[in-house]
């Protein structure tokens, strides 16, 4: 039983394309996140949603648009992909108002832009 699942796991695409990564959590959590991990393993938060509302929006190009159809899903759509977008994207979730509680991560989506 996967707690946080994201698809696809691997994605290779050409520059300029538009792609989406889907994320679902079955933990009943209210807060979901997208993190980006670069080639140096540095992990940085991109977005945070709480009950389908955007809470955190770090300095991310507006080519990246998160969409939360319900609190169990947070998808990431990327327009006009660039070489620098190549990274591993992690979805995560935790309970609302759960400062200090565990964040559960998905297995990651490896995006390669060629």
Interacting residue ranges for another protein, rule: CB under 8 A: 4, 31, 35, 40-45, 48, 56, 90, 92, 97-100, 102-108
Nearer to another protein, 23 or 81 (CB): 23
CA 100 to chain centre: 21
Could you tell me which of 44, 113, 43 has the C-alpha nearest to residue 84?
113
Residues in Cβ contact with 99 at an 8 Å cutoff, skipping those fewer than 6 apart:
none
Nearer to another protein, 45 or 72 (CB): 45
Nearer to another protein, 31 or 75 (CB): 31
């Amino acid at each position: 039983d996967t707690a946080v699942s994201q698809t696809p796991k691997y994605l290779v695409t050409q520059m300029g394309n538009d792609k989406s990564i889907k994320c679902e959590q079955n933990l009943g959590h209210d807060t979901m996140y997208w993190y980006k991990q670069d080639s140096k393993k540095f992990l940085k938060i991109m977005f945070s949603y709480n009950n389908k509302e955007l809470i955190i929006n770090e300095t991310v190009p507006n080519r990246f648009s998160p969409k939360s159809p319900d609190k169990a899903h947070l998808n990431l759509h990327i327009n006009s992909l660039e070489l620098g977008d190549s990274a591993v994207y992690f979805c995560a979730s935790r309970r609302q108002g759960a400062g200090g509680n565990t964040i559960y991560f998905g297995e990651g989506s490896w995006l390669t832009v060629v």
